A and B are shown apart, each in its own frame.
Chain A
Amino acid sequence: MALASKQSQVIKKSFSWGYAVTWLLLAILIIITILPFWIALKTALSTPSSLFVNPGSLLPTDATLFNFRRALGLISLEESVAAGGSGQSINFLLFLRTTLIFTALIVIAQTFFSAMAAYAFARMKFVGRELIFFFYLSALMIPNIVLFIPNFILIKNLGWLNTMQGMVAPFFLMTPFAVFFLRQFFLGIPKSLEEAAKLDGASPFGTFWRIVLPISRTPLITLAILTSINAWNEFFWPFLVGKDEEVRVLTVALQIFRTQTPQGAPDWTGLMAATFLAIIPIFILMVVLGRQVINSLQFSGMK
């Protein structure tokens, strides 16, 4: 108790200016972060014909939920086209489900397999460790453009076009990013814990499963968050591999709001409404996982 009050005194005395500046910077960052979202939301709530009225105003003229209904596929084609929208129906719930499955498969498998590899790279001694790790790392440096055609042909030859396994295959077993990320964290875990487990007769996998993974909750959940965001936003691969409606993900379905002609303008209002609808689920996921991070902190703070 006495210690706590002393601590707060110290903070008060010597940091008040520092904290003021910090909060000011934080406030600026938050405004910079939010403003574009506000503008996107304003666009989503506008009708096409009111979009360019008072473009400098921060409030929508004639606010309407029409675009959200349009992006959800609740409006007939004709009505949509008549209102200046693009003419394609969207089976939002179906695509949402597909996207959830796509994301979940990738996040779970990739995080797990990458963690296994990362643990081996961080802790085990074996011939070729540095070399293989360097190979993994170098895979980050290959421009995707040269990879996707061979990969696409492979998936086609496997007969996996328009299947879920074809869509998740390249992301399923690893990404160099995930392995590298977790390796760096595993390097920082005190060796004593694992050695204790070893003395107790735990197998390497048992140590990994019962010791290493639990104490690495924060990096694992962080990685899971990042991976799910990336999977959620993945566009070009699912666009190539999963054209059929049964395996279409949201990014592919919602791209109809983007530029349609070489010199045409995007369907701004529809695009922004679609963007908001598409980030709501992933935002919820992030909040839920974010709470996990907090909980894990409390846990580690206790020990």
Chain B
Amino acid sequence: MKKLLALAAALLFSAGLAQVKLDYWLWDANQQPAYEQCAAVFSEQNPNIKINITQQGWGDYWTGITTGFVSGTAPDVFTNHLAKYPEFAANGQLVDIQPLIERDGVATDIYIGELATLWTRDNARYGLPKDWDTIAIFYNKEMLDTAGVSVEELNNLTWNPQDGGTFEEVVAKLTLDANGNNGLSPDFDKDNVVQFGYLTVDGADAYGQTQWSHFAVSNGWQFNDGLYAEEYYYDDPKFVETIDWYAGLIDKGYTPKFSDVNGLGDNSLFAAGQGALTTDGSWMIGWYLDNSPFEVGFARLAAGPEGRKSMFNGLADSIWVGSKNQEEAWEWVKFLASAECQNIVGSYGVVFPAIQSGVDAALAAYAERGADVSAFTEQALEPGGTFLFPIADFASEVSDIMTSAMESILLRESDTAETLAKANEEVNALFR
């Protein structure tokens, strides 16, 4: 009898309890419908938890998160970025979920590659992976056909920092001046280009994620001395020669001047039919498909002296320490990181989820739109085909220093080796 009473009381109590409302933030509006769907399924399984999704554009998102930390109004769970989380973790703003993982026996080996490792530091873990991205070549099919370059040829390019390899040859072939001469012709007028072979140079920052990092790393360079690095290698000769070659494309007229692409960016130029090739990340696939009034295709990166290398970056969901409903927040994070939610996200075809079955769903969704995006997935799955986004402290400061340095190099205003040596010194001084 007593037991029954207690049970009834418990039932009453739980029924009378207000729903727990969790705040969840993300910055990509294109992914919101997918996560709304996840939240609907989650709330069905956990009727006592309601997910309130807020989306804010990139810049405001982080100011809002920081203000939220200070004032105690940050969301319970939020999409986190590798360039931001070390600072938050070091300041004790993120819940270490490692004990929860061990308690609940959550598998962390279901994620592709080293995605899960990216979010650990000193045996603590600050997020479970939700998606990933790699880099590939985006091409304008019509321009390829006109120049007689086959997709197969494009998928098997080689590159080196001395003469640019077959990559530079194809780029030259795809560059046209006003008189119809291509970049290989002796009559080529580099000051009067109407179609660029390669659109790229808005890559003036510390990472060159979609612009130069794949060249530099395939040349045997590395950003720094590993996870939580305290030393960067921007003065390494291998990096210097890569950037020298890369900036040299401007001088040859194969790619627009830096000052000319600083406005809308290379993706807009590509969509406007100003160039034949560009390199970009998998999160931009949808944008290119939607905005290009011509057929767009995706090809593998050129193979450098050390093979094909793409930066491998991933997002994760983190729990804020100030959340008043940490247990519920953890349930939500677990669900976001589960195959169930990631299959849903994949089926929307906006991003590659961190679990293989989700990736398959995404591939199917892209195929439905007539796009073969295997260049990105093959790159991700190829042994040694990826390198990680350089995670270290002072990310914003490093970025600040390198942006100025790269800008002055790409504007062709300063000597590459000298500028990089000086910038590298400034960067490494941050860690001392």
Residues of A within 8 A of B (CB): 48-53, 55, 77-78, 81, 83-84, 86-88, 148-149, 152-153, 156, 161, 236, 239-240, 243, 255-265, 267
Q: Are B59 and A153 in contact (CB under 8 A)?
A: no
Comparing B29-37, B173-181, B415-423, the segment that makes contact with chain A is: B29-37
Comparing B189-197, B230-238, B283-291, B298-306, the segment that makes contact with chain A is: B283-291
CB<8 Å pairs between A and B, sample of 28: A49-B291, A49-B293, A51-B271, A52-B273, A53-B293, A78-B33, A84-B287, A84-B290, A84-B291, A87-B31, A88-B29, A88-B33, A88-B55, A149-B71, A152-B71, A156-B73, A161-B73, A255-B57, A256-B57, A259-B57, A260-B27, A260-B28, A260-B30, A261-B283, A265-B264, A265-B265, A265-B268, A267-B29
Q: Are B209 and A263 in contact (CB under 8 A)?
A: yes
Alpha-carbon separation in the docked complex, A87 to B70 (Å)? 30
List which B1-55 residues lie within 8 A (CB) of chain A.
27-33, 36, 54-55
Q: Are B33 and A52 in contact (CB under 8 A)?
A: no
B32 contact set on A, CB distance < 8 A: 77, 86-88
Total residues of chain B contacting the partner, CB 8 A: 44
B71, B72, B209 — which one has the most chain A CB atoms within 10 A of its CB?
B71
List which B54-77 residues lie within 8 A (CB) of chain A.
54-60, 63-64, 67, 70-73
- Closest beta carbon of chain B to A146's beta carbon, Å: 13
Q: Are B271 and A52 in contact (CB under 8 A)?
A: yes
B289 contact set on A, CB distance < 8 A: 84
List the B residue with the shortest CB-CB distance to A53.
Answer: B293
- Closest beta carbon of chain A to B432's beta carbon, Å: 28
B394 contact set on A, CB distance < 8 A: none
A48 contact set on B, CB distance < 8 A: 290-291
Please tell me if B350 contacts chain A, counting CB pairs below 8 Å. yes
B31 contact set on A, CB distance < 8 A: 87
Q: Are A265 and B287 in contact (CB under 8 A)?
A: yes
- Picked from A50, A86, A153, the residue with its CB within 8 Å of the CB of B71 is A153
Alpha-carbon separation in the docked complex, A49 to B289 (Å)? 8
Alpha-carbon separation in the docked complex, A259 to B287 (Å)? 12
- Closest beta carbon of chain A to B260's beta carbon, Å: 14
A149 contact set on B, CB distance < 8 A: 67, 70-71
Residues of B within 8 A of A (CB): 27-33, 36, 54-60, 63-64, 67, 70-73, 81, 209-210, 264-265, 267-268, 271-273, 281, 283-284, 286-287, 289-293, 348, 350
A265 contact set on B, CB distance < 8 A: 264-265, 267-268, 287, 291
Alpha-carbon separation in the docked complex, A149 to B284 (Å)? 34
A148 contact set on B, CB distance < 8 A: 67
Q: Are A255 and B56 in contact (CB under 8 A)?
A: yes
Q: Are B265 and A87 in contact (CB under 8 A)?
A: no
A51 contact set on B, CB distance < 8 A: 271, 291
A49 contact set on B, CB distance < 8 A: 290-293
A83 contact set on B, CB distance < 8 A: 290
Alpha-carbon separation in the docked complex, A77 to B290 (Å)? 16
A87 contact set on B, CB distance < 8 A: 29-33
Q: Are A256 and B55 in contact (CB under 8 A)?
A: yes
- Closest beta carbon of chain A to B273's beta carbon, Å: 7
Q: Are A239 and B56 in contact (CB under 8 A)?
A: yes
Alpha-carbon separation in the docked complex, A78 to B283 (Å)? 18
- Closest beta carbon of chain A to B329's beta carbon, Å: 18
11 A-B pairs besides A87-B31, A261-B283, A264-B58 with CB distance below 8 A are A49-B290, A77-B32, A81-B30, A83-B290, A84-B291, A87-B29, A87-B30, A87-B33, A240-B67, A263-B284, A264-B284
- Picked from A55, A239, A267, the residue with its CB within 8 Å of the CB of B64 is A239
List the B residue with the shortest CB-CB distance to A265.
Answer: B267
B29, B58, B63, B284 — which one has the most chain A CB atoms within 10 A of its CB?
B29
Alpha-carbon separation in the docked complex, A86 to B281 (Å)? 18
Q: Are A261 and B350 in contact (CB under 8 A)?
A: no
B60 contact set on A, CB distance < 8 A: 236, 239, 255
Q: Are A263 and B281 in contact (CB under 8 A)?
A: yes
B33 contact set on A, CB distance < 8 A: 77-78, 81, 87-88
Q: Are A262 and B348 in contact (CB under 8 A)?
A: no
Alpha-carbon separation in the docked complex, A87 to B27 (Å)? 12
